[in-house]
Amino acid sequence: MSTKSTKGNAVIRAFTNNKGGTGKSTSCVNIAALVAMARPDSAVLIVDLDPQSHVARFLGLSEMAQGMCIGNVLKDPSRIRENIINASLPDYPRRNLFVIPSSRELEVTVEEIVALSTVRARHGVNTLNTLLADTLAGLTETFGYIFIDCPPNLGSLTNAVYNFAHEAVVPTATKAVDFDGAQEHTLQLDRLRRQMPDVIQARLSYVIPTMYDARTRQATRVIEAMRSVYGMETVTSPVPERVEVKEAPENGLTLYEYSVATGKESQSLVAYAGIARRMI
C-alpha cells in the first residue's frame, strides 16, 4: 500500500495518534530502522516532532543530539543540514538512517510560529499549513523515505503534518479505550481531508495494533473490531507485548540490534519486520 511521492522521490509517512502510550515512537523508530536495513541504497530520515525527543533517546543518540532540534529548522530552514545527524553508533552502524531530533525547545518555537502566522493571516498570508512542506522540501530528493514521529497532540501543526505527509500510520494499543481514541483520530483526519482538500493530502494507510496480548479476550475482540472498521488490508499484524519492546529503547537499541546483542528471538521484531516489508 505504498504511496509514490509527488514531492521529489521520498515516501513520507506520519506516525500519529492523539493518545500517548500507544507505541507510536517505538513503531516509528523500529520500522524506519528496518526499512533502512532492507534498502541500503536509499537514505531514510526520521523527523522527531515530539518535544519529549524519544527518537534520539531510543536510538542512543541523546548526547549527539544536544543543541539540535527540528525547531531550529522550522525557524530557519537554512540550518537544516546542521540539525541532521547520522544514527550510527560505534557498535551499531546505521549508515543510511538519519534523524532530525527534537527537544523541549520545539514547544516554544511552535508558539512563536503560531503567533507570527496569526499576524500574517491578518494580511492575507498564512504559511502555517505548508510549514513542514516548505521547510523540508529540499530533503525529498535526498531521502527515499521520511518518517515523522508526531506528538500525542499535533495541535497547531496538524494541518502542516498532514499537508507534508502522504500517509498517516496510526499505532494503537489493543485495548477498547485506545481503539476508541484511534477512531476519533482517524475521523478527524477524514474531516480535515473533506474540509481542506487543497491542504490535506495525507490518507490513512495503516493501523498498527500494538501491545497485543493474545491471552486476553479484550485484545482479540479489539483486533476484530479494528479489521471490521478499517479492513484487513489497513490493519497490520499485531505487535505482541514483550519485555524487549521496553528494554531495547532503554539501551538505545532497535529491536533488531537488541535481539542480536542478547541472542534472543523477538516476536515483536518479527511483527515489525513484516510491517516494514509492506512499507518498502
Locus of grid cell 476508541: 180
Q: Which residues pair with 67 in a beta bridge?
A: none
CATH code: domain 11-279 is 3.40.50.300
> pLDDT tens-digit profile of 86-104?
999 999 999 999 999 999 9
pTM over 0.85: yes
Q: In the chain, what's the furthest Cα-to-Cα distance? A: 61
Percentage, residues of the chain above pLDDT 90: 80
Is 164 in contact with 128 (CB distance < 8 Å)?
no
- Give the pLDDT mean for 241-247: 96
> pLDDT tens-digit profile of 165-220?
999 999 999 999 999 999 999 999 999 999 999 889 899 999 999 999 999 999 99
Spell out the domain ranges in the chain.
11-279
